[in-house]
Amino acid sequence: MEDSRLSGIGMTSARTRERLVLRLKEQGISNERVLDRIRNVPRHLFVDEALSSRAYEDTALPIGFGQTISQPYIVALMTEALLAAGPVDKVLEIGTGCGYQTAVLAILVQEIFSIERIGPLLARARRTLRELKIRNLHLRLDDGYLGWAARAPFDGILLTAAPPDVPAQLFDQLRTGGRLIAPIGAESKQELVRYTKTEQGVSRESLGAVSFVPLLSGLQR
């Protein structure tokens, strides 16, 4: 039983997952390593059992505490955008949520640091990621606005919740040549932006319109 739940036999079958991968390809995701992660990470384990039949639909789903698991297309897009310039060793993720994006990315980088401000969500993510035997990660209950200065600099920073603007200290924690990907905007509609830190400053590219939950300050234990 345990094994079939982990491998996702039944309503979370290989065919259902392949359909999702095809859909992401049609939408322009082309990095095979990223598509492989979408194929292999059991997304149904990151949502409540009642929602597991919908886990391989390309939609965001509720995970409690007013938060959501991101849409697979957006997870793939952000991961692809982060890796586009070549291998990335050390990544900081802000907004662990259920840990799905963390699991997709972890295998593709050397080390991942992820911060979440809601205690019970982080505890659940920790259990799921442990169950999947993902070990190159460090999770922390904190306000991601501050980043993780003690572990800086990072080659990449990923925000999975939207601030009105990038907190300056996050750029300080990015190494030169590194990339920061974030949804930026005050309301429910934002722009996904990739920033690249160079010797001369920070360059900015838009990756399209997105809809994320807001980046909030303070902790919820």
Query: Tokens 């190494």 map to which residue?
Result: 175
Give the C-alpha separation, 84 to 116, whole Å: 26
Q: Which stretch binds ligand SAH (CB under 6 A): 1-9, 28-36, 68-76, 190-198?
A: 68-76
Q: Which of 52, 68, 79, 190 binds ligand SAH (CB under 6 A)?
A: 68
Among 12, 52, 79, 160, binds ligand SAH (CB under 6 A): 160
Judged by beta carbon, residue 156 or residue 201, the one nearer ligand SAH is 156
Q: Exposure pattern of 106-142 as b/e (b: 16+ CB <10 Å)?
A: bebbebbbbbbbbeebbebbbebbeebebeebebebe
Q: Which stretch binds ligand SAH (CB under 6 A): 50-58, 69-77, 180-188, 191-199?
A: 69-77
**Taking CB under 6 A as the rule, does residue 115 contact ligand SAH?**
yes
Query: Which of 7, 30, 53, 70 is labelled catalytic?
Result: 70
70 assigned to active site:
yes
Q: Is 100 in the site for ligand SAH (CB under 6 A)?
A: yes
The answer to whether 61 contacts ligand SAH (rule: CB under 6 A) is no
| Min CB(199)–ligand SAH separation in Å | 29
Q: Is 72 among the residues that bind ligand SAH (CB under 6 A)?
A: no
The minimum distance between CB 104 and ligand SAH, in angstroms, equals 7
Minimum Å gap between C-beta 21 and ligand SAH is 17
